[in-house]
Amino acid sequence: MDNSKIPQATAKRLPLYYRFLNNLNHQGKKRVSSKELSDAVKVDSATIRRDFSYFGALGKKGYGYNVEYLLGFFRKTLDQDELTNVALIGVGNLGTAFLHYNFMKNNNTRIMMAFDADPNKTGTNSDGVPIYHIDDLEEKMGDVRVAILTVPSNAAQEITNRLVEFGIDGILNFTPARITVPSDVRVHHIDLAIELQALVYFLKHYPLIEDE
Amino acid sequence: MDNSKIPQATAKRLPLYYRFLNNLNHQGKKRVSSKELSDAVKVDSATIRRDFSYFGALGKKGYGYNVEYLLGFFRKTLDQDELTNVALIGVGNLGTAFLHYNFMKNNNTRIMMAFDADPNKTGTNSDGVPIYHIDDLEEKMGDVRVAILTVPSNAAQEITNRLVEFGIDGILNFTPARITVPSDVRVHHIDLAIELQALVYFLKHYPLIEDE
């Protein structure tokens, strides 16, 4: 099937479904209901059924979905077998958290190298990942085209410009800075403060109702 | 106006608009076009105009939006003056990154206390925030009802159960674990690996087009 037909909102949930189904499979489970999936991944059942219909997976009443079929489909769709190498820029606390985090577990992404401006950090390894000096960015990147940005805010745009000049395809921006890139570079921005503010805002204005 | 009338997708963008407009205001800017806003916050102009219409803010052609009016509205809406205290659970690398991050800058949230299981960390301060032992969670929480969860995955559900028992309202879950809570507890989940996977997936299947 043509992946470009899957709505973006659905596409965004694919890695989530994949991870949960992979766990089920490891536990030897053969089938799963949309209710179980819903409880596990915190997406409502109706949305799951709609999402799955795009994958050509139609659950059977009283049986649910075939775990192996779904996994096969997701694996192909998410290109789980094709590894994407990623560079981490900025080995502070957040960057170090990323390095400790085992991306290889059920994942198709690997942090291959890291960069930092601190000479005390460069030339070392963290969790098996070499840390190079930021001055050597262009020289060391090789064919890596995806970067995680965990530098201080005031360095974010300058490093971004260098990445763009180098030919980066995508940046996962974890700095509070909003960075500017050409239209052919994809940026996903996760701002810790805004995530917290959004949670607090929802708590105040959209109270949840206890159902028990 | 009644905030519950604002769609959730719009509500989620409020903190973003607020921060940018606050910066403009500090720079002495009196007005802003939806185009400028769009470039800065990376939300398309049509969405911004629709969002702002919910706030009763109608941009004038060739003039744009009045920065001060919008700020006044957002400040009231986001309850910027009312501070929400937050507890951080787990002072590893990610937790420490949160503590270094200055949430008070343009924000209405403050990490008031942190908890960790490591006795070498407890009894100390990090960025002015006291770190208590996790055993003292219930005793120290006081009237805090929002928590950031940055503990190891295998401890996530156990700590969550304690937080729920204590009466938590909201959890910002930064662990890879999907946690289970009663329906009246709000959880926002940010999984670093899934964010990276989603970026890579989009890069492969939804290539962007260069416009210059």
Whether B15 sits inside 8 A of A206 (CB atoms) is: no
pTM reported for the whole predicted model: 0.72
Partnered with residue A113 across adjacent β-strands are A87
Q: Select from A65, A78, A154, A68 the least CA-distant residue to A109.
A: A78
CB-nearest partner of A109 from B14, B186, B200? B200
| CB-CB neighbours of A15 under 10 Å | 25
DSSP 8-state assignment for residue A93: H
pLDDT tier at B204, thresholds 50, 70, 90: confident
Q: Select from A150, A121, A157, A126 the least CA-distant residue to A136.
A: A121
Whether B108 sits inside 8 A of A197 (CB atoms) is: yes
Tokens of B3: 């905030």
- Burial (Cβ within 10 Å: 0-12, 13-18, ≥19) of residue B201: buried
Closest residue of chain B to A176, computed from CA coordinates: B101
Give B81-137 pLDDT, tens digit per residue. 578 899 999 999 999 988 887 555 556 788 999 999 999 999 888 888 999 999 999
How many helices and strands (H and E) does chain B possess? 8, 9
DSSP 8-state assignment for residue B176: S
pLDDT tier at A51, thresholds 50, 70, 90: confident
Give A151-179 pLDDT, tens digit per residue. 998 999 999 999 999 999 999 999 888 88
Confidence at residue B34, expressed as pLDDT on a 0 to 100 scale: 85
Q: Provide, as residue numbers in chain B, all residues whose Cβ is less than 8 Å from the Cβ of A208.
A: 183-186
| B201 vs B193: CA distance, rounded Å | 12
Whether B109 sits inside 8 A of A20 (CB atoms) is: no
Angle at B97 between CA A42 and CA A191, to 5 degrees: 55
ipTM of this complex: 0.70
Residue B136 contacts A, CB cutoff 8 Å = no
Confidence at residue B172, expressed as pLDDT on a 0 to 100 scale: 92
Give B6-23 pLDDT, tens digit per residue. 777 787 778 778 877 877
Tokens of B95: 């937790």
- Record: fold of B3-76: Arc Repressor Mutant, subunit A (1.10.10)
What residue spans of B27-136 are helical by DSSP H? 34-41, 45-54, 67-77, 93-100
Confidence at residue A108, expressed as pLDDT on a 0 to 100 scale: 75
Interface test with B, best of A205, A206, A209 (most B CBs within 10 A): A205
Q: Residue ranges of the domains in chain A?
A: 3-76, 84-194
Whether A203 sits inside 8 A of B148 (CB atoms) is: no
Give A72-126 pLDDT, tens digit per residue. 887 777 665 578 899 999 999 999 988 887 555 556 788 999 999 999 999 888 8
Mean pLDDT taken over chain A: 82
CB-nearest partner of B40 from A4, A98, A178? A178
Asked if residue A1 has pLDDT above 50, the reply is no
Query: How many residues are there in chain A?
Result: 212
CB-nearest partner of B146 from A192, A203, A209? A203
CB-nearest partner of A200 from B94, B108, B207? B108
Whether B193 sits inside 8 A of A101 (CB atoms) is: yes
| CB-CB neighbours of B172 under 10 Å | 24
- Record: fold of B84-194: Rossmann fold (3.40.50)
Q: Does residue A171 sit in helix, strand or coil?
A: strand
Q: Determine the residue type at B69.
A: Y
Confidence at residue B164, expressed as pLDDT on a 0 to 100 scale: 97
| CB-CB neighbours of B72 under 10 Å | 11
Whether B170 sits inside 8 A of A211 (CB atoms) is: no
Give B33-91 pLDDT, tens digit per residue. 888 888 777 788 888 888 888 877 666 777 788 888 888 877 777 665 578 899 999 99
Give B144-196 pLDDT, tens digit per residue. 999 999 999 899 999 999 999 999 999 999 988 888 888 888 888 787 777 78
